[in-house]
Amino acid sequence: MKLSVITINYNNFKGLRKTMMSVFSQTCAEFEYIVVDGGSTDESLEVLKEFNDNPVLSGRFNWISESDNGIYHAMNKGICLAGGDFLLFLNSGDELVDRVVLEKVCTEIQDKTEICSGILYILDKGEKTIKYPIKELSLSYCYYGGLTHPNTFIRKSLFGKYGLYNENNKIVSDWEFFLHVAYFHHAIYQAVNIPIANFYMDGISAIPNNPVTLEETKRVLENEIPHAVRIDIERLNLLEHKISQINFKAVDYLMQKHSLTAKIVFFPLEILYYVLKKKNKLNF
């Protein structure tokens, strides 16, 4: 099995250098590295040329620098250049968490797997959030966010079966692709308990309530999911939210009015939480 790591970049030479360093340092030899630059006018070309003759990736490093029509046009270029069985999109500025990520993944991915997702570290202004891979995919999970690029390996043949990324979108085409192939076409999914990448919250897709994201998401859902199904999904999500609120209010009341009783009641749960978290059996 061979992996292809694909990085897209535009005028982010510092982030590009960081990303490339994390890829160049990998102990695994069974991968190729592709950088698709959008015709940068900063020092990105100098960074690419600096690493071009690095013997570590001799014969396995390919890059182009030319104008494109957006993020997904650039990603589609990378897909067409890739020769690996699985693709990992690690965009400029993000990084693999350590030197053995690809080596570990190669030993864990099963023969029939088509989508493999690991652990993602989300870094935002010094705060780190850990996103664990969902054990099993569901429509609700895919509907509300779903899989993420930097920690997910995609079998290249899926793009041959179901098409490349939709270049009409600016932000949500990776989410649309995962929704399409993972839920509607039942791609074989595997979760691995391996930290894959550090994702930094400084890109366009990380902007909360971005109007473009909201508009594109709405359009995709209307095109892909029948109206009656959308109503049921949203009703169930609202119900879960209400139940969660009720539980929180009950706990809050107990803590405020009967703090000693609350400590006695929740102490066993704290022990259970600690033990399970140590064993990495919970998705938080």
pLDDT at res. 126:
85
Are the beta carbons of 8 and 92 closer than 8 angstroms? Answer: yes
Question: Radius of gyration (Cα) for the chain, nearest Å?
Answer: 21
Are the beta carbons of 23 and 3 closer than 8 angstroms? Answer: no
What pLDDT digit, counting tens, does each position of 223-243 carry? 888 888 888 888 887 877 777
Domain boundary among the residues 225, 242, 268 is at 225
Verify that 263 and 184 share a domain, yes or no. no
pLDDT of residue 54 exceeding 50, the answer is yes
pLDDT at res. 281:
46
Supply 204's token pair: 């366009």
Would you say residue 134 lies in a domain?
A: yes
Supply 131's token pair: 């996103």
Would you say residue 284 lies in a domain?
A: no
pLDDT at res. 232:
86
> What is the overall mean pLDDT for the chain?
88
Verify that 127 and 172 share a domain, yes or no. yes
pTM assigned to the model: 0.81
Verify that 218 and 234 share a domain, yes or no. no
Residues, the chain: 284
Verify that 104 and 238 share a domain, yes or no. no
Would you say residue 274 lies in a domain?
A: yes
Would you say residue 283 lies in a domain?
A: no
Verify that 147 and 207 share a domain, yes or no. yes
Q: What percent of the chain has pLDDT over 90?
A: 58
- CATH number of domain containing 111: 3.90.550.10
Would you say residue 40 lies in a domain?
A: yes
Q: Cα dist. 59→3, 25, 36, 53, 99 in Å? A: 14, 16, 17, 9, 20
| Number of structural domains found in the chain | 2
Would you say residue 271 lies in a domain?
A: yes
pLDDT of residue 202 exceeding 90, the answer is no
pLDDT at res. 284:
42
Would you say residue 236 lies in a domain?
A: yes
Verify that 150 and 187 share a domain, yes or no. yes
> Which region holds residue 42: left if phi is over 0, alpha if psi is between -120 and 50, else beta?
beta
Residue 259 domain boundaries: 228-278
Domain boundary among the residues 225, 240, 262 is at 225
What pLDDT digit, counting tens, does each position of 63-121 carry? 999 999 999 999 999 999 999 999 999 999 999 999 999 999 999 999 999 999 999 99
Verify that 143 and 83 share a domain, yes or no. yes
pLDDT at res. 277:
67
**94 or 184, which is more confident:** 94
Verify that 19 and 148 share a domain, yes or no. yes
Verify that 215 and 243 share a domain, yes or no. no
Verify that 247 and 111 share a domain, yes or no. no
Verify that 7 and 98 share a domain, yes or no. yes
Verify that 135 and 119 share a domain, yes or no. yes
Rounded Cα–Cα distance for residues 124 and 202 (Å): 8
What pLDDT digit, counting tens, does each position of 235-282 carry? 887 877 777 666 666 666 666 766 777 677 767 777 777 777 665 544
